[in-house]
Amino acid sequence: MLYASRYLRLMDPFMTGPDVQYVQNRLRELGFYTGPADGVYGPATQQGVLRAQQSFGLLADGIVGPDTYNALGLSPTDEVTLAPEYLITIDTERLQLRLSRMGQPAGTFPVAVGAPNTPTPLGDWKIIQKTLNPGGAFGARWMRLNCPWGGYGIHGTDNEASIGSAVSHGCVRLHNSDVIKLYDLVSLGTRVKIIGNAFTGRLLYIGVDPGSDVVRVQQILQLLGYYRGDLDGYYGPLTEAAVLQFQRDQGITSDGVVGPQTYDRLQLANDRALGDRRP
């Protein structure tokens, strides 16, 4: 429903990972943060994010989502030369990663990809960061993609049973044994092509055709206590009223229409309500 990697924010216990470390390094480059790039999203990192958001004219909430990622941008040090030897192709429908070397098959691995509500970003990317043993949900290895609006990467897992499913917040997971093999073969600049289907949601308003995107909005609004109607996929007066109240409480344009900004706020509110921190 929305292209959004996990929202980096202050949680208890603190969020950790190479995606946090990347943001810390970028904040340091831009002069918003002077602390260590330790991969821990603590109060000092939150303050650095707040300073950046204020400087960029964004909502200063201390949460790193798509808008803040876009504003921070990618580091100039990430302008790595494309490495032509290997090509990684990830098929989000077949749940498969294919590795080729100079046009010849070099390996196939099962993967987990983004859930329907937080799909893996389709397109042509390259690897710009490699991290050994990030641990936790990132497993044995991490390889960040140069996607500007989120902290997406190819990584291991602490949940091997999830491989072969569409369950992540947009990242691509492999078995740890497989990601170690892949990590050792590919270099910075390796091309990554992600193919498949990703439904990121329509503009929703009174009169739009019923659909699963409406159901998802109703589910989140119900979880948050705004909606008490049926989960019927019909965008009627009850759903519009719930959207309007949610928009007012969020301090965003209150027009009863679910567009990119409202989708973003709904997903963040959903993650916060559920304590979701999965990459």
Ordered DSSP codes for 236-253: -HHHHHHHHHHHHHHTS-
Strand partners, 204: 258
- CA atoms of 87 and 189, how far apart (whole Å): 10
- CA atoms of 39 and 36, how far apart (whole Å): 8
Contact 4, 169 (CB under 8 A): yes
- CA atoms of 117 and 2, how far apart (whole Å): 6
Based on the residue annotation, tell me whether 171 is a catalytic residue of this protein.
yes
Which of the following is catalytic: 147, 155, 169, 175?
155
Specify burial of residue 85 (Cβ count, 10 A radius: 0-12, 13-18, 19+): middle
Which of the following is catalytic: 147, 169, 171, 175?
171
- CA atoms of 14 and 107, how far apart (whole Å): 36
Contact 151, 8 (CB under 8 A): yes
Residue 259 Cα to chain centre, angstroms: 18
Residues acting as catalytic residues:
155, 171
